[in-house]
Amino acid sequence: HIKEGCEAKGEEELVSTVQNLNPYLECLDPDILYHLSLSTATTDFPKVFGDVRFVCMGGTPSRMFKFANFIMKEIGLKLNSSVKLKDLAEDANRYALYKVGPVLCASHGIGGPSISILLHELIKIMHHAKCQNPVFFRLGTSGGIGVEPGTVVITSEALDGQLRASYEIVVHTTPDMRPTKLDEDLSKELRSLSDPCRDGFDTIIGKTLCANDFYEGQSRLDGAFCCYTPDQKKEFLEKISSQGVVNMEMESTAFAALTGQAGIRSAVVCVTILNRLEGDQITTPGDTLKSWDLRPQTLIARYMKKVLFGI
């Protein structure tokens, strides 16, 4: 890529592969990424982030800290034993951000608004750092619909609470619908790296319902409020199951829409921590949940090793 206007001077300048960016970004000098406490005035983005090939996002800071350390071992990088990975966004106290060689790991909090703010700022990092074809992943937990708890789901299509394959952003009081289709080849490639016989669990591709709430928004009977009957809940879950929905979570539409708009290949890989046809409360023991957290992580590590080292 040659930046417009540079050709005449013969100066070739690399630009990031991120697409459809805000034209007014060029007017910002510096650009302050407020929620990550990073600024183009004080951080040399191409130097610090220019080698990023994979961006991995998950709900909590501790899970992403563990993931960053896990990935470090998997891709054969080492830290001096007395040194701990540094949270590059610690001053903002909102999201955690770790960098391990070509892998950037961030926690995104709960829900569309939280992950959306982070995605804006991560995509701007890609732009300022001139990253080339980064791939984004969301690794998470979800409620399964008719699947064995512990199953890993790769999202084919993220649906909103009204079962639309869209992410609605209200701009100047008007809803703007953005498509939430995810990269089919990437999903299939990830699935091909799973091995149910060796791994001891299934990895499936299916539709994900993205709700704006954990309780009534996911038809639970255990929230502080409940505006439907157990029969209506059953009917709803059976209806979405018959339409191909295999899990529910709270960030996939925003993630799919924003990465899609930027022309970034991306995938959502979530482990199911309960079967919603059987209940609402998470009764799985903490240790089991921790071991299940590793399932999406292991799959993504296999993908990265294949891309980086061909193994």
Q: Are 160 and 166 in contact (CB under 8 A)?
A: yes
Q: Are 61 and 69 in contact (CB under 8 A)?
A: no
Residue 218, binding choice from ligand URA, ligand R2B, none, Cβ under 5 to 8 Å by partner class: ligand URA
Q: Tell me, what amino acid is at 290?
A: K
Residue 248, binding choice from ligand R2B, ligand URA, none, Cβ under 5 to 8 Å by partner class: ligand URA
Residue 110, binding choice from ligand R2B, ligand URA, none, Cβ under 5 to 8 Å by partner class: ligand R2B
Q: Which stretch binds ligand R2B (CB under 6 A): 155-163, 219-227, 243-251, 289-297?
A: 243-251
Helix (H, G, I), strand (E, B) or coil at 76: coil
Binding of ligand R2B by 87 (CB under 6 A): no
Q: Residue 115: which H helix or E strand, with range?
A: helix 112-129
Q: Are 70 and 305 in contact (CB under 8 A)?
A: no
Whole-number Å distance between alpha carbons of 121 and 36: 8
Q: Tell me, what amino acid is at 201?
A: F
Binding of ligand R2B by 214 (CB under 6 A): yes
**Total number of residues binding ligand URA (CB under 6 A)?**
9
Q: Contacting ligand URA (CB under 6 A), which of 101, 214, 221, 289?
A: 214
Q: Residue 97: which H helix or E strand, with range?
A: strand 97-100
Whole-number Å distance between alpha carbons of 293 and 206: 19
Residue 219, binding choice from ligand R2B, ligand URA, none, Cβ under 5 to 8 Å by partner class: none
221 in the Ramachandran plot: left (φ > 0), alpha (ψ -120 to 50) or beta? alpha
- Asked whether residue 94 is marked as a ligand-binding residue, the answer is yes
Following DSSP, what letter does each residue of 253-271 receive, concatenated? HHHHHHHHHTT-EEEEEEE
Binding of ligand R2B by 251 (CB under 6 A): yes
Binding of ligand URA by 215 (CB under 6 A): no
Q: Are 260 and 266 in contact (CB under 8 A)?
A: yes
- Asked whether residue 220 is marked as a ligand-binding residue, the answer is yes
Residue, CB closest to ligand R2B = 249
CB of 222 to ligand R2B, least distance (A): 13
Q: Contacting ligand URA (CB under 6 A), which of 16, 141, 155, 203?
A: 141
- Asked whether residue 243 is marked as a ligand-binding residue, the answer is no
Q: Contacting ligand URA (CB under 6 A), which of 153, 248, 258, 301?
A: 248
Residue 102, binding choice from ligand R2B, ligand URA, none, Cβ under 5 to 8 Å by partner class: none
Whole-number Å distance between alpha carbons of 113 and 90: 20
Token readout for 173 is 């009081």
Among the listed residues 127, 71, 78, the one whose alpha carbon sits nearest the alpha carbon of residue 102: 71
Q: Contacting ligand R2B (CB under 6 A), which of 16, 37, 141, 218?
A: 141
Which C-beta is closer to ligand R2B: that of 147 or that of 250? 250
Binding of ligand R2B by 260 (CB under 6 A): no
Burial annotation 194-233 (CB, 10 A radius, 16+ → b, else e) = beeeeeebebbbbbbbbbeebebbbbbeeeeeeeeeeeeb
Residue 273, binding choice from ligand R2B, ligand URA, none, Cβ under 5 to 8 Å by partner class: ligand URA
Q: Tell me, what amino acid is at 27?
A: C
Which C-beta is closer to ligand URA: that of 119 or that of 271? 271
Binding site for ligand URA (CB under 6 A): 141-143, 214, 218, 248-250, 273
List residues forming the annotated binding site. Answer: 94, 138-141, 218, 220
List residues forming the annotated binding site for phosphate. Answer: 94, 138-141
Binding site for ligand R2B (CB under 6 A): 59, 110, 140-142, 214, 249-251
